[in-house]
Amino acid sequence: MTWRSVARQDGALTVGAQSVKILLGLVGFAVVLAGYLYPVIGTEPYTTARFPGFVQGILTTLVPFVGILLGYNAVVSDRESGAIRLALSLPQSRWDVVLGKYVSRTGVLAGTLVAALAVAGALVVYPFGELALGRFLVFVALAVAYGAVWCGIGVAVSLAVATKRRALVLGFALLFLFVLMWDTLERALALGLSAAGLADEGLPGAAEFVFALEPGRVFTRATAGLVDPSRSAGEAWYLGEWVALALLALWVVGPLGLAYARFAGRDLS
């Protein structure tokens, strides 16, 4: 068996789960609803190049949540039950198992995002909107990459620990940090440095760069610079759209690669 076989088998099981259907339906409904509301409550001109700025907040909130829930039990559930030892007794490697599960779970989220954004784009264009096809396709690709980031983080969590409970706790800890607390931590640090007289306004460049590494901010800057002509990624070079694109690629491969390096040498008994 190869990773493709694992992906097909795991994909069928994943899509068949009622909880997964609810999660994917939530993402799809929210994106399509945004496409319906944008021409109603958004600002003119109504174009698919400016729509990403309207729907981005929904994606940066829901996609991390769904990605973690899709990925956190990908490997650890088989490890906890002992099924992974049976799987590895077949002619397939640990990498085949991990890659197959990552591809299958990323694929179901990516398919949902592509379909929902296609419908939302049609709602933006009809009847008075404008289609900027090239820019919109870039946005769809960025949204899929962002989904791949969080599915990768979810699978990485699944590789890093030995039980589903620990994987779920670690996954939600990362959600809490990056999605809910990141802005608060940045503001707190800025206020602390200002009160100590170490910074006049905002954060020093090094600290600003560190906070800019958060996946949602990377996705936002890449979208602003590459898709929406009314927005810009940032003035500093390290806040530019091409740097953001490179960082998004690193987020896709980095967490999963590091977690696999740890997983590859561990005893699964």
Whether 76 is covered by a domain: the verdict is yes
pLDDT of 231 reads 82
How much is the pLDDT for 1?
64
Q: Which residues pair with 130 in a beta bridge?
A: 47
Q: Which residue has the tokens 């608060």?
A: 184
**Residue 93 confidence (pLDDT):** 85
Radius of gyration of the chain (CA): 20
Q: What secondary structure does DSSP assign to 50-88, as a single string?
A: THHHHHHHHHHHHHHHHHHHHHTTTTHHHHHHTHHHHHH
**d(C-alpha 57, C-alpha 178), whole Å:** 14
Kindly state the helix (H) or strand (E) to which residue 226 belongs, with its residue range.
helix 215-226
SS3 content of the chain, % helix, strand, coil (to 5): 80, 0, 20
pLDDT per residue rounded down to tens, the chain (269 residues)? 688 888 999 899 999 899 999 999 999 999 999 999 999 998 888 999 999 999 999 999 999 999 999 999 999 988 888 787 777 777 778 899 899 999 999 999 999 999 999 999 999 999 888 999 999 999 999 999 999 999 999 999 999 998 999 999 999 999 999 999 999 999 899 888 877 777 677 778 788 899 999 999 999 999 999 998 878 777 788 889 999 999 999 999 999 999 999 888 777 76
CA pseudo-torsion sign 95, 253, 171, 35: negative
What pLDDT score was predicted for residue 269? 60
In a domain, 227, yes or no: yes
Number of domains in the chain: 1
Q: Which pLDDT does position 83 carry in this prediction?
A: 80
Q: Does some domain include residue 110? A: yes
Q: SS3 for 199? A: coil
For residue 241, which of 139, 173, 165 has the smallest C-alpha distance? Answer: 139
Q: What is the domain range of residue 80?
A: 3-263
Looking at the domain assignment, is residue 269 inside a domain?
no
What is the predicted pLDDT for the residue at 238? 87
Say whether 130 sits in a helix, a strand or coil.
strand
Q: How far apart are CA 88 and CA 106, in angstroms?
A: 22
Measured CA to CA, the distance from residue 5 to residue 231 in angstroms comes to 43
Q: Is 78 part of a structural domain of the chain? A: yes
- C-alpha distances in Å from residue 9, one per residue of 1, 5, 18, 151, 183: 11, 6, 17, 18, 40
Longest dimension (CA), the chain: 62
Domain presence at residue 268: no
- pLDDT reported for residue 101: 94
